[in-house]
Each structure stands twice: as structure tokens, then as C-alpha cells.
Structure 1
Amino acid sequence: MDVTAPHEPARPAYREGTEADVAALVALVDRAYRGDSSRSGWTNEADILDGNRTDHDDMLAVIGKADSTMLVVEDGDGVPVACFQLEHRGDAAYFGMFAVRPDLQGAGLGRRIIAEAERRARETWSAREMHMTVLSVREDLIAWYERRGYRRTGRTTPFPYGDERFGRPKRDDLRFELLVKELG
């Protein structure tokens, strides 16, 4: 039996997202995190939250936000395979809305993308730190970020229960934890 491991695009291309990308990016983010299709990747939240991870209006707001950029990562054929948001916040940059197509997860693409995000934050805004928030119950994901130099701060914010824009929780212990990395 021939089992082929997923492989990342040889030379992913990065470009700024536009309004024309909104539908594809919403589908990519939801596919990476929610529902049965997300289960083929390891970053899914399917056992924690139901519903969508984002929607058209939220993605459009991210794309149009001042001091922020939504980057689309494309394969060699111009097909979006990942995305992430960078937002300038004083001496720091915020990294969010990170999604990699589930069938490409675990092949090294995410590691390359986060390194590119850090480089851009340093070069574009002279950011000294990268910040992100992660659901504190996502121990496997937090461990992945820790292997990339991020540290848990212990600073948490409550999950917005009752606001379906964030999904429908399947548990009552959700909160977001701030992770930080010095960019040097």
C-alpha cells in the first residue's frame, strides 16, 4: 500500500487578501477548524465548538482594518492553501485568523508561514513581540507554538458565550490565553 504524506507547496506565494478573496478565505478557515472536513487536519476545533469559525462580514472587516493585513498563501497554481492576519499593535504585532488547508497540515507549511509572519512583523512595523490568543484547552496547539518560541502568559480572556460569531461551545470551560514571542 502506497501512503503518500501531504506535502507543502514548493514555493508558497504570499499576497494581501482583497474583498474578492472573502468567500474563499471564509471557506478555508471554516474547513481548517470546524465540522467533519476539519478532522483530516490536526488543528480542528470540531470537538470543542460547532458552527462557523468566521463569516463574510468578519473576514471583510479583517481585510479592511487599518494597521492590519490579511495574507493569502497560495500554491504554485494560485490556489489559496493558507491564510493569516497580522495587526500592528504598538511595539507588538498580533497574529490571528491562521488557517492551513487540513490536507496540508503536518507537512511543515505552518512552520514556514509563522516564520514569514514574524519576519514581516519585524520588517514592516519593527515589532518586538508577536502576540496571539489560543483557546486554553488546545494543549496540542499551544505546545506547537511553544516549540516555535511562544510562551504562555497566563493572561486569559473569557470566551464570548452566547455570541455565535465565535461558534457554539460544546463545553463550559473555554477561555482565550495570550501567547507571546520576543522577535528580537
Structure 2
Amino acid sequence: MDIAPAQDLGRLTFRDADDADVPALVTLIESAYRGDSSRAGWTTEADILQGQRTDPDGVRQVIETPGSRLLVVERGGVLVACCQLEHRGEAAYFGMFAVRPELQGEGLGKVIIAEAERVVRADWGAAEMHMTVISVRDELIAWYERRGYRRTGRLTPFPYGDERFGIPQRDDLQFELLVKDLG
């Protein structure tokens, strides 16, 4: 699916990921959140988490799970972003959102999340979009709030000891559920 340009972003193309995309998607997601490359953007988690953000098995699982989609976002045939959408009854879950660090701050994120919301309303009839964000990520939560998401105060523990999710650099990490009414 194509969408019209927003600001000066050029034409973005959205499509469902397949197995051939897995290596590039892992690289994109890691670059947006972990390690020195992530510091080029503002979504880095490098100061609170070390280690991996995802791996090929995790990405493949999102692609292959029924009711789940991993959207690949390309500009000019080049992978620039991705996001996970999962059908959860009346709601949809938004996750695994990554934009190439050097492109962050150009407005891509706003366009991508708006398209993700449109897709889950149109394809699944979702009335709400849910996501979880590490609760200490104040700047990121504020960005989502400006997009209409609200904090719920519903917290779940960070999976300490499971290095598939990274190696915490602090002991106060937990996830907070954010919700947006798509009506």
C-alpha cells in the first residue's frame, strides 16, 4: 500500500514482511535502540539496556504468528522503518517500532503510526491501539501522548534475567500500557 507524501518525506511504501526481510529488520531494530549507532537518533535505549533488542527468531515469530503483521516501510525501495501490529480482539497491539536513527526527527514516525492506526481500523475493525513502553522513557512516552495515546498506569515487570530482552543497566525498569481510542 502507498500513501501520499507528508511534508517532504517522499513516497513511503508499506508491505508485510516476509522471511527474506528478517536479517535487515533485525539490523534496523538493533540500530534504532541499542549500541552506539542508536545514539544518532532519539529513541535509543543504550543508556538503560545493553545487549540485544531482538533476534532473527523473535522477528520471524512476529511475521509467522496468526493475527500478527510486521509492516516494512520503504522509501525509494530502501528499508527505513518497521512496526508490529497484532490483532487482539477489539484492540490492536503496536510494537517493534523502529525508524533508522539518521532519519529520526524528520516526521516519519508520525506518518507511520497514523498509517498503522488506519490499517488496524480498516483490516481488523480495532477500536483501540495498545502498546507498552518502558516507563522511564519519559521523552518517548511524551511523543506518544502527543499522538493521542494515554498512560494507563497499568505496569508489568521488565523480564530481568532474560537476556533476549537486553541487559538492564538499572533496577527500576517496567512496562506501562499506553492506549489510544481509534474511534
Q: TM-score, normalised by structure 2?
A: 0.95
Residue 82 (structure 1) aligns with: 81
Asked if structure 1 preserves the Cα contact closer than 8 Å seen for 2:9 and 2:106, the reply is no
Structure 1 residue 8 displacement after superposition: 6.4
Residue of structure 1 equivalent to 2:3: none
The residue type paired with residue 35 of structure 2 is G
Question: 1:24 corresponds to which residue?
Answer: 24
Instruction: Determine the C-alpha separation between the residues in 1 that align with 2:75 and 2:110.
Output: 16
Contact 2:28-2:100 at 8 Å conserved across structures: yes
Q: Indicate the residue corresponding to 1:37 in structure 2.
A: 37
Q: Match for 1:177: what amino acid? A: E
Q: Which runs of structure 2 are paired with 1:119-138 in the superposition (5 Å)?
A: 119-138=118-137
Q: CA shift at 1:79, angstroms?
A: 1.2
Unaligned runs of 5+ in 2: 1-6
Counterpart in the other structure of 2:148: 149
Report the TM-score, using the length of structure 1 for normalisation.
0.95
Match of 1:95 in 2: 94
2:107 pairs with 1:108:
yes
The alpha-carbon deviation at position 9 of structure 1 amounts to: 3.8
What residue number does 2:55 align with?
A: 55
Maintained 8 Å contact 1:29/1:53: yes
- Structure 1 runs, 4 residues or longer, greater than 6 Å off: none
Q: CA RMSD in A?
A: 0.9
Partners in 1 of 2:60 and 2:124 — Cα distance? 23
Q: Which residue of 2 aligns with 1:178?
A: 177
Paired residues of 1:8 and 1:104 also in contact (CA < 8 A):
no
* Secondary structure of 2:44's aligned partner: coil
The alignment of Structure 1 onto Structure 2 pairs a total of residues equal to: 177
- Aligned partner of 1:158 in structure 2 is 157
Letter in 2 for 1:84: C
**Percentage of pairs with the same residue:** 70
Structure 1: runs of 5 or more not aligned? 1-6
The whole-number CA distance in structure 2 between the counterparts of 1:115 and 1:125 is 15
